[in-house]
Amino acid sequence: MNTKLFFTLLMSTIITSCMQNKINRKVYEWPQMDAPVAAIKPHIRSLHGDTVVDNYYWLNDYFKKGPDSSEVTKYLEAENAYTDSMMSGTKKLQTQLFDEMKGRIKEQDESVPYFKNGYYYYTRTEEGKQYFKFCRKKENLDAPEEILLDVDALAEGHSYYAAGGFNVSPDNRLLAYGVDTVSRRQYTIHVKNLETGEILKDAIPGTSGGSVWANDNRTLFYTKNNPATLLTENIMRHKLGADTDNDAIVYHESDNTNYIGVGKAKSGKFIYIYSGGTLSSETRYLDADDPMGSFTVFQPRMPEVLYSVTALADRFLIVTNQNAKNFKLMECPFNQTGQEHWKEVIPHRPDVLLEDVDEFKDFLVVSERKNGLIQLAIRDLKDGSQHYLDFGEEAYTAYPSNNPEYNTATLRYGYTSLTTPSSTYDYDMNTRKKTLLKQQEVVGGYNVADYVTERLYATAQDGTQVPISLVYKKGFNKDGNAPLLLYGYGAYGVTMDPSFSSSRLSLLDRGFVFAIAHVRGGQEMGRQWYEEGKMMKKKNTFTDFIDCGRYLVDQQYTSSAHLYAMGGSAGGLLMGAVANTAPELWKGIVAQVPFVDVVNTMLDESIPLTTNEYDEWGNPNNKDAYEYIKSYSPYENIEAKAYPHILVTTGLHDSQVQYFEPAKWVAKLRATKTDNNVLLLKTEMDYGHGGASGRFDYLKEIALEYAFLFALEGMVE
């Protein structure tokens, strides 16, 4: 048994060349220390004629046994102590980074108010406070302020506090909201009387946090989670004042590969139940005036057909991929919802992905994606005419924002890019006039002209053109000497659109280039982009990312001596895969809450979310899927060879990627790899998948990651 768990770091030779901005690199003196050795309890997996011995399976024990598994807690705390020691020389830098990133945030701030049902709603923050206050004003912005929820006060005494799912009853008297104090995305729904300030006895535990009011102002519908697997299994109905243990199940999902949820039409006419997986979906609906009624199936689920429903004043709209890979828009009467009654409104287009629609009384806003970028099409429901909003940048993110009001001709939308701070606009769909309401303020000053953004295309191994969005500070010299951080995700059809980050300025101002590889597995280039990076084609995600890295080196944006990779969750799987496949390409890797033990996780149906993911990764109980997943799973493919410098982060209460995946991965890496490069594991003992809940605390995590990169570049005083 090899009990070697840690290596000390030997830095590479001093880099003598400097970037144009004259940053001097000095070798960071990593401290040396002995690391604790953990007991190993082998676990043997035999499946499909394949036998695997797992020496680190015992790290699952905390999850299986709960807080009684003290040996796991001690191990993670020892890892944290090791990381703290190894990073001790960067403490001053981490503090400096935290202070400068925090210093860019306007501490006393207010969101742009949105109007709903007679009130303007907004949140505001106060200087020195980590959270916010949820407020409203009646009818106009000069009216007296009502603080509906003081989250700063509610969070006192909690190391983690998340409040969300704010939902005001139709008569404006009651507020339902969800609270998670563990960071496991298990929310308790509370109800507050906004006239008296009383928190009602109706505390509903084990939910997804959101809820829907029926129009009687007494009935709440919500999603109940399985406490073990966290699967969304039941839609419940609660009557105010009733015992929550007696809440009625109005829908039970028997397919454990589907997610379910409950929502309400913007017009207030219908309540929806949505059930969907990766390949098919189903919607039920109920008249919101009849909360004790039965939900009606809109269209029974069809194999490999997804659809979603939106209600206009006189008909339903349906976004579906039925015989339409990139989706199309259909419509049907209220009383004839079966697919045989659907009529085409917007046809399928092979070069345009139809993502969503936002409904208004006289207009429809269609979110489309073409050439990797979002377009917002405004359709006049009176005459059928259509026009597009113009954004005027090469790479950007645009999206309909908070538009809860149905009877309006004003579209609220958000806009940002790698160089443009987050901006909120109102757009008059009649006059076509847009008004900037607010742009994120960068305290201390920010000049967009000081930064440059580009859109590049790397050629993948199979000839596919993979987009890259990147940003750097003016004065950058494309000679291969600049450090570059390449970020990737590539899963679930999630698109990594380019957006602004004030924290990222700490990288750019020190000479880093920041780039996003829009790899297959996302949905940047259409639905086929997603389908080409999932299931038995998952490896395209990894090779795309590697090809993007090599392209950036070939084009002298950087070199392998200065190239870094970062990704989180499914993007952490990407990090593990590229570390195994092309370790020589990267100087360092930051893997955030990484999903790296894919085979074991997808075989364990007791772990949260596993069965929901079968259509994304495959079910390893099937031999073909098992062999394919095993061929790329980072934990399964660690080899005795040199790896880059790696920083791994996780959270003890993570509900999405359990802490033991990165912990096992790090332990096995240390015992197997042949290099002396640094390998660090940082576990947040109070947090979960999303990290800290406060608006400043999360900056400490970023400061650690940036300090790790700067240390590898010798940028530590």
The residues annotated with a catalytic role in the active site are 569, 654, 689
In DSSP terms, 119 is beta-bridged to 116, 138
Q: Let me know: does 637 contact 629? Beta carbons within 8 Å.
A: no
In DSSP terms, 567 is beta-bridged to 591
Q: Which residues of 354-375 are buried (b: 16+ CB within 10 A; e: fewer)?
A: bbebbbbeebbbbbbbeebbbb
Q: CB neighbours of 500 closer than 8 A, spacing ≥ 6?
A: 416, 417, 418, 419, 420, 421, 422, 440
What 3-state class would DSSP assign to 100? helix
Helix, strand, coil shares of the chain as percentages rounded to 5? 20, 30, 45
Q: Which residues of 28-61 are buried (b: 16+ CB within 10 A; e: fewer)?
A: bebeeeebeebebeeeeeeeeeeeeebbbbbbbb
Q: What angle in degrees, to the nearest 10, is found between the helix axes of 698-712 and 91-103?
A: 130
Contacts 24+ apart (CB under 8 A), 530-537: 530/492, 530/493, 531/325, 532/464, 533/490, 533/491, 534/278, 534/491, 534/616, 534/617, 535/615, 535/616, 535/617, 535/618, 535/625, 536/618, 536/624, 536/625, 536/628
Give dist(CA 165, CA 706) in Å, integer. Answer: 33
Kindly tell me the sign of the dihedral angle through the C-alpha atoms of 248, 254, 259, 263.
negative
Detail the DSSP E strand segments found in 475-579. Answer: 484-487, 513-517, 563-568
In DSSP terms, 681 is beta-bridged to 648
Q: Let me know: does 469 contact 453? Beta carbons within 8 Å.
A: yes
Q: CB neighbours of 70 closer than 8 A, spacing ≥ 6?
A: none
Q: What are phi and psi of 290, to 5 degrees?
A: -130, 65
In DSSP terms, 99 is beta-bridged to none
Kindly tell me the sign of the dihedral angle through the C-alpha atoms of 651, 653, 655, 661.
positive
- Tell me the two tokens of residue 108: 């006393």
Give dist(CA 219, CA 290) in Å, integer. Answer: 10
Give dist(CA 670, CA 10) in Å, integer. Answer: 15
Cα-Cα end-to-end distance for the chain: 41
Q: What angle in degrees, to the nearest 10, is found between the helix axes of 539-554 and 623-632?
A: 20
Plot region of 18 (φ>0 → left; ψ -120 to 50 → alpha; else → beta): beta
In DSSP terms, 486 is beta-bridged to 515, 565
Give dist(CA 353, CA 370) in Å, integer. Answer: 7
Q: Let me know: does 495 contact 369? Beta carbons within 8 Å.
A: yes
| Distances in whole angstroms, Cα of residue 202 to Cα of each of 184, 189, 238, 313, 550 | 21, 8, 9, 34, 57
List the Cα angle 437/439/445 in 5-degree steps: 140
Query: Using CB atoms within 10 A of its CB, is residue 422 exposed (0-12), middle (13-18) or buried (19+)?
Result: middle
Q: Which residues of 449-472 are buried (b: 16+ CB within 10 A; e: fewer)?
A: eebbbebbebebeeebebbbbbbb
Q: Let me know: does 650 contact 569? Beta carbons within 8 Å.
A: no
H or E segment to which residue 704 belongs:
helix 698-712
